[in-house]
A and B are shown apart, each in its own frame.
Chain A
Amino acid sequence: MHNLKLGFGILLFVLFSGAAYTSIGFHRLAMYFPFAVSVIGVILSGVYVGKLIFARRQGQAGPSSETAVDSIDAVTEVRKALPYLAWFLGYILLISLAGIVAASVVFLAAFLYREARMRWWGVVISITSTLVLLLAFSRIMRLYWPRNLLGL
């Protein structure tokens, strides 16, 4: 957890620093608000990172192992979540290639069969009903579907 917090704090520090620098180049009326916000962000994220580094140094000097345990938990959770993120990103990539209907069929079938261990007939029923509902809603509510690379 501690490393994740530190990494996120540093990321914000870099983001706000970049934003403050970029906003200097804007027209005066467009500059003052993002510049002020970014400078506040730089100061606060600096304080945040500083506090974390200070806490880590104190923790190293002392016997507390809480940070280490938290760190292991965070790494485990991130590791567990990564495959699912990969599923999501794969689905999005598939939409861009094959369009949402084909991508949804493939994604749902693969996920339900492999991850949820659903039986094949359950998969077929679920996918069919989802597609029917999606089609109905998109028709009635004039929903737009993401286009693929071919513009379909």
Chain B
Amino acid sequence: MLEAGLEALTMILQPARMGFILLGSVIGIVVGILPGMGGAVGMSVVLPFVFGMDPYSGMALLMGMVAVIHTADTFPSVLLGIPGSAGSQSTIMDGYPLAQQGQAARALGAAFTASLVGGLIGAALLFGTVSVARPLVLALRSPELFMLTLLGLSMMAILSQSSPLAGILSGVLGLFLGSIGGAPAISRYRFTFDLIYLLDGIPMPVLALGLFALPEMLDLLVRQTNIAGQAELSGSWVEGIKDAIKHRWLIVWNAILGVLIGVVPGLGGPVVNWVTYGLAARTCKNNENFGKGDIRGVIAPEAANNAKEGGALVPTMLFGVPGSSTTAILLGGLILMGIQAGPRMVSTDLPIMLTIIWTLAIANVFGAVLCLSLSGVVSKISLIPGKLLVPFLFVIMIVASYQSTRHWGDIITFVVIGILGWVMKRIDWPRAPLIIGFVLSTPAERYLHLSMSRYGFEWMKSPIVIGIAVAIVGILFYGSLRGVKKEKRDA
């Protein structure tokens, strides 16, 4: 395996292929920086060009782009409080407050370093587990997947510590909004009011943009200031790198967690993002500043969302089961190059699999270096007065939200959800639980239905199910215990 790995490395180190990785990385950075675009848009840009390319070069281009999107999507999340992609939603929670304190460059430096290390760990774990991952994936049936969605939903409670009732109500609203559209258990539509737009439900990118972007834009205009709230920036990206080194074990732990959740098909980037953020907010020592600008709140999800790409490739490559729209298009790209995803990827097509792993690692390095070199300049966006910045942002937001389904409903939903988000912000309701509830609504219903219809109540006796249930109770209990201890200490 090691020998084959070195052979693949020499293949990928050829100048032309390195050029394709670099080109893919640059496209990935542009797609990541533009809010609301995502892997699927990037893939649709690159895909036509891979037709006729040799598989190694084609994969260098495709994977170069995919690997870097979750590094560059940190820019809008930190600087504008707008999720760059679905996988960087929770980065806003502490990244944006840091930008508001004039420490955007520090937050970006820490995020890119965490992304780099996370991406490398993801690639390394993919390399180490590619031949043994098959039984792990097969062990996950619908009951286990349902319990994993419950683990994600438990983050609603974790992120609502300041106002538990409002937070849980916000999460329930998310679950309800997520139930709009087709029912997972039967071909019936719910709450669509005969509107074609709602048949597929509310698109997640539009919901995320509306919930986070519009409230921030309105607040910037009302406050009549810039994002940083001051004339000069403090902190540098070097300081951010030092922060990342200081919290190296947080990066390692979250990268491993990112890979593990990434392996599970269908859970996707937002789940990885929120679960890792929630766990960090719950389990880190001195966690009172989470949500107000704690650098660890940036480091944890950023390490995980890059590492997740390594995990997500396991079901995609070994089973041909795409976990997201991006990996679905990636499978299409493989077919264009004459490769069939499946068990052959670890036997006859092993060199291609190893090339993909190397590309993932190298593209992460390219992406982090490019983003770090840009962070000093780009962080100055936070000094632009709101009245100059917001009109341009609004035009971009409208175009970005329209890309989801290319229907006018996208724009109307963006504004309606935006007003909802703004009201929630005004009355101090946490918005994170809403998005967690929304993201997990369909998987929770689907896996619960499948579990009940296939196994009755027997599924509750599965050791993995019990293990995850114990983990959920443990996380909630441990967090509460620490909260009580802290309150006693403060008193």
Seen from chain A, the residues whose Cβ lies within 8 Å of a Cβ on chain B are 1, 4-5, 8, 12, 15-16, 19, 22-23, 26-27, 29-30, 33-34, 37-38, 40-41, 44-45, 47-48, 51, 74, 77-78, 80-81, 84-85, 88-89, 91-92, 95-96, 100, 104, 107-108, 111-112, 115-116, 118, 126, 130, 134, 137-138, 140-147
B221 at the A/B interface (Cβ < 8 Å)? yes
B403 in contact (CB, < 8 A) = yes
Q: Does B422 contact A (CB under 8 A)?
A: yes
B427 touches A1 (CB 8 A): yes
Chain B residues in 8 Å Cβ range of A78 = 426
CA–CA, A30 and B445, complex, Å: 10
Q: Is the CB of A116 within 8 A of B34?
A: no
> In the assembly, what is the distance between CA of A139 and CA of B406, in Å?
16
Assuming A126-B392, A130-B395, A141-B45, is B186 touching A115 (CB within 8 A)? no
| Contact yes or no, A34 B449, CB < 8 A | no
Nearest chain B CB to A27's CB is how many angstroms away?
5
Cβ of B385 under 8 Å from chain A: yes
Measured in the bound complex, the distance between the Cα atoms of B185 and A33 in whole Å is 10
Asked if A77 and B166 make an inter-chain contact with CB atoms under 8 angstroms apart, the answer reads: no
A4 to B422, CA, bound (A): 12
Q: Could you list 30 A-B pairs, sorted by A, with CB under 8 Å?
A: A4-B427, A8-B423, A12-B173, A19-B191, A26-B183, A26-B190, A29-B185, A33-B179, A33-B445, A33-B448, A37-B172, A37-B441, A41-B169, A44-B168, A44-B169, A45-B169, A47-B165, A48-B166, A48-B169, A51-B165, A85-B218, A88-B214, A100-B398, A107-B391, A108-B391, A108-B395, A116-B387, A143-B403, A145-B399, A146-B402
Extra contacts, 11 of them, besides A4-B423, A41-B173, A91-B398 (Cβ < 8 A), are: A4-B427, A8-B429, A26-B183, A30-B185, A30-B186, A80-B222, A111-B391, A115-B221, A134-B395, A141-B44, A146-B399
Q: Which residues of B contact A16 (CB under 8 A)?
A: 172, 176
Q: Which residue of A lies closest to B189 (CB)?
A: A30
Cβ of A8 and Cβ of B394 under 8 Å apart? no
Chain A residues with CB under 8 Å of B185's CB are: 29-30
Interface of B is mostly: helix
CB contacts (< 8 Å) of A141 on chain B: these are 31, 37, 41, 44-45
Across the interface, do B392 and A108 meet the contact criterion of CB distance under 8 Å? yes
Interfacial chain B residues near A85, Cβ < 8 Å = 218, 419
Question: Which of A51, A115, A144 contacts B406 (CB under 8 A)?
Answer: A144
Whether B388 pairs with A116 at a CB distance below 8 angstroms is yes
**Chain B 424-453 interface mask (CB, 8 Å, partner A; 1/0):** 101101000000000001001100110000
Cβ A44 vs Cβ B165 within 8 A: yes
Instruction: List A contacts of B402 (CB < 8 A).
Output: 144-146
Pick the contact of A34 from B37, B190, B422 — CB < 8 Å? B190
B489 at the interface (CB under 8 A from A): no
With A108-B395, A140-B45, A142-B44: A30-B188 Cβ-Cβ less than 8 Å: yes
Bin the interface of chain B by size. Answer: 35 or more
Closest residue on chain A to residue B429 by CB atoms: A8
Q: How far is the CB of A50 from chain B (nearest CB, A)?
A: 11
Q: Does B411 interact with chain A (Cβ within 8 Å)?
A: yes
Q: A27-B188, A141-B45 are in contact. Are A146 and B169 (CB under 8 A)?
A: no
Q: Is the CB of B165 within 8 A of A48?
A: yes
A96–B331 Cα gap in the complex (Å)?
A: 37
Task: Report chain A residues within 8 Å CB of B387.
Answer: 111, 115-116
Other-chain residue from B176, B398, B426 in contact with A92 (beta carbon distance below 8 A): B398
Contacts of B408 in A (CB 8 A): 96, 146-147
**From residue A58, how far is it (CB to closest CB) to chain B in Å?**
17
A100 to B403, CA, bound (A): 14
Within B389-425, the residues touching A (CB, 8 Å) are: 391-392, 394-395, 398-399, 402-403, 406, 408, 411, 415, 419, 422-424
B175 sits at the interface (CB 8 A)? yes
Name which residue of chain B comes closest to A5, CB basis.
B427
The answer to whether A40 and B398 have CB atoms under 8 Å apart is: no
Contacts of A100 in B (CB 8 A): 398-399
CA distance A34 to B387 in the complex (A): 41
- List the B side residues contacting A118 at CB < 8 Å: 388
Q: Given A44-B168, A48-B169, A145-B402, is A29 in contact with B183 using a C-beta cutoff of 8 Å? A: yes
Q: Interface centre among A1, A92, A107, A134, by most B CB within 10 Å?
A: A92
Within the complex, what minimum Cβ distance (angstroms) separates A88 from chain B? 6
Q: Which residues does chain B contribute within 8 Å of A130, judged by CB atoms? A: 392, 395
Report, nearest first, the 3 A-B pairs whose CB atoms are least far apart: A30-B183, A116-B387, A29-B185
Are A77 and B169 touching (Cβ within 8 A)? no
Contact partner of B179 (CB less than 8 A), chosen from A34, A40, A47, A126, is A34
When chains A and B are docked, how far (Å) is the Cα of A81 from the Cα of B221?
A: 8
